[in-house]
Amino acid sequence: MNGTDKQQWLRREGYGGPGSFPEEVMGFVRERSEALAGQEHSLYLSDGRVLHYAFKDGEVLTAKALKGGHGFDAEDVKYKAFESTSGIFFVNHAYPGNERLNTSVILDLNRNQVVVVDCEIPEEGADDYRVRKNQVGGCIGEPVTPGEIISPPFPSDLVGKRFIVNYASIYTYDTVIFSERLLAWHCLKGNPGIADIEEYSANQLAPGVFVLSWSEQAETLSAVMLWNFSTGEINGNMFGYEPEQQKVLDFTLGSEILDPGDFRMD
C-alpha cells in the first residue's frame, strides 16, 4: 500500500502465478558451463557504464561497477552460466546487498560484444508493480575510441516469426513477434488460455542467436532469454515477486523452439 486503498501488486487471472510453477519445469535447464572459470572481463556499455567481472571458479564471481551503475556490487556471489553456442554465454547472478536486483549478462567472446540486462523489483508501497528492466549492449574490453561502444544490432529478421516455446512438454507457448517493439504469447499447455502482448528489447549476437527481454504487463515478472534458432534451444532466467508470500522469484530455465507445424497436443 502507499497510504491509499490501491493495491500495489497485480496478478494475471487464470492461474496461480509464477510461484506455482512446478519444480520439474524450473529444473529443466541444460548442463551448466564452467568454461568462464578464471576469466576476467571489463564490459564497456553504450550507456557509459564500465563493469568488471571476475569469474573466480565455475560457481562464484565478483562483479563491480568501475563507472556508473546502480550502486550495488556482487562480491563473491554464486552465478549460473550456460554456453548457448561456442563462445556465447548466458550468465545470471543476484546481489547480496539487494535481493530485489538481478542481472543477466550475455558474453559473446567470439566478437567481443556483450548485452547486460538488469531487473529490479519495486519496493513495498511503491506506485508501480512491474519489474524495472534495462537492457543495454556494448563491448568486451576497452575500445580504441569511445565512439566504438555500440550495442549489438536489433535482429531485423526476428520480426514476423511465429514459433512454439516448449518447457519440458509441461508448458507450451505460441509466440509471435509482431514488430520491433511488441511480441505476443498464448499458453497452449500448462495454463491454457492465458495470453498477453509484451513490449520487448532484443539484440543479435550471431546469426540466429538473439537476446530478448521483457517485463510482464500483468504482474511482477521479467524474462531474459537467449534464443538460438540454429540449435532450437533457449536458455534464460525469470525474475519476479510473489506478493502473497512476499517472496522473490528467481529461476533459471531452459526450453526448446518448435515449428508450429511440428507441434502436437498430447
Taking only the tens place, the pLDDT of each residue in 91-128 is 999 999 899 999 999 999 999 999 999 999 999 889 99
- The pLDDT, as a whole number, for residue 265 is 74
pTM: predicted TM-score of the whole model, two decimal places: 0.94
Closest CA to 165 of 177, 174, 154: 174
- The pLDDT, as a whole number, for residue 14 is 85
Question: Does residue 248 surpass a pLDDT of 90?
Answer: yes
**Alpha carbon distances (Å) from 105 to 135, 171, 218, 225, 262:** 10, 26, 25, 11, 32
Write the DSSP assignment of 46-114 as a string of letters.
Answer: TTS-EEEEEE-SSSEEEEEEEES-SS--EEEEEEEEEEEETTEEEEEEE-TT-TTEEEEEEEETTTTEE
Residue spans per domain, the chain: 18-262
pLDDT in tens, 140-168: 999 987 677 889 999 989 999 999 999 88
265 burial type by CB count under 10 A (0-12 exposed, 13-18 middle, 19+ buried)? exposed
Write the DSSP assignment of 197-230 as a string of letters.
Answer: EEEEEEEEEETTEEEEEEE-SSSSEEEEEEEETT
CA 254 to chain CA centroid, Å, is: 12
Question: Does residue 1 surpass a pLDDT of 60?
Answer: no
C-alpha cell at 235: 536458455
pLDDT category, 186, cuts 50, 70, 90? very high
pLDDT in tens, 192-223: 999 999 999 999 999 999 999 999 999 999 99
